[in-house]
Amino acid sequence: MQITLAHIGARAGSKDGLEALTQAYLKRCSSYAPCESHGFRSESDLWEWVARRQGRTPVLAVLLDSRGKQMSSEAFAAWLGKHRDEGAQQIVLAVGPADGWSPEARKRAALLLSLGPMTLAHGLARVVLAEQLYRAFTILAGHPYHTGHA
């Protein structure tokens, strides 16, 4: 299963601390699955890229959206594990444009995911998403990184 953390907007600079953190978490994730990040200039560029990535199974597009489903880390891990175990080849987790996803994009998504009711800077949202992805993989693997809550 290939994981891509995508975003719409300007490419982060090489000295961007948030981008460095995102890449550090994606590197940790690659112990569990191939992971990459990819930036797109527009929503349509993202969907064209997704269309070219179709394989044996459809690409599962998870769009961050404030109106999306909120999940605990354990629930997100279960969602990821379910799709992994069902043979998903490609999952794209995407942070949208500054003015939000179009209604068409929201309809095309396999999941609309909310990180919570607060608005986050897009770079920070990517870090949080990358960390939660790593946390999900460690939960699935029984690694002690995630200790849960009593």
> What tens digit of pLDDT does each residue of 18-47 get?
999 999 999 999 999 999 999 999 999 999
Q: How far, in Å, CA of 59 to CA of 13, rounded?
A: 28
d(CA 8, CA 145): 30
- Which pLDDT score, from 0 to 100, does residue 10 have? 77
2-141 folds as Alpha/beta knot (3.40.1280)
CA–CA distance, 53 with 94 (Å, rounded to integer): 15
The DSSP symbol for 72 reads -
User: Residue 150: what pLDDT?
Assistant: 46
Shortest CA distance to 90 belongs to which of 138, 63, 55, 136?
55
Region 85-101 average pLDDT: 95
Q: Which range among 13-17, 94-98, 124-128, 141-145 shows the weakest confidence by mean pLDDT?
A: 13-17
Kindly report, residue by residue over 101-127, the tens digit of the pLDDT: 999 999 999 999 999 999 899 999 999
Confidence label for 133 from pLDDT (cuts 50, 70 and 90): very high
Rounded to the nearest 5 degrees, what angle is found at the Cα of 104, between the Cα atoms of 102 and 109? 100
Q: Are 148 and 74 in contact (CB under 8 A)?
A: yes
| Non-local CB neighbours of 75 within 8 Å, separated by 6+ positions | none
Instruction: Kindly state the DSSP code that residue 36 receives in the 8-state scheme.
Output: E
| pLDDT value at residue 30 | 96
Q: 3-state class of 62 per DSSP?
A: strand
Please tell me the pTM assigned to this model: 0.91
Cβ atoms 77, 135 nearer than 8 A: yes
For the stretch 15-25, pLDDT in tens is: 788 999 999 99
Report percent pLDDT > 90 for the chain: 81
How many other CB atoms are there within 10 angstroms of residue 88's CB atom?
20
Tokens 């996803």 locate to 101
Say if strands 2-8 and 90-95 run parallel, antiparallel, or are unpaired. parallel
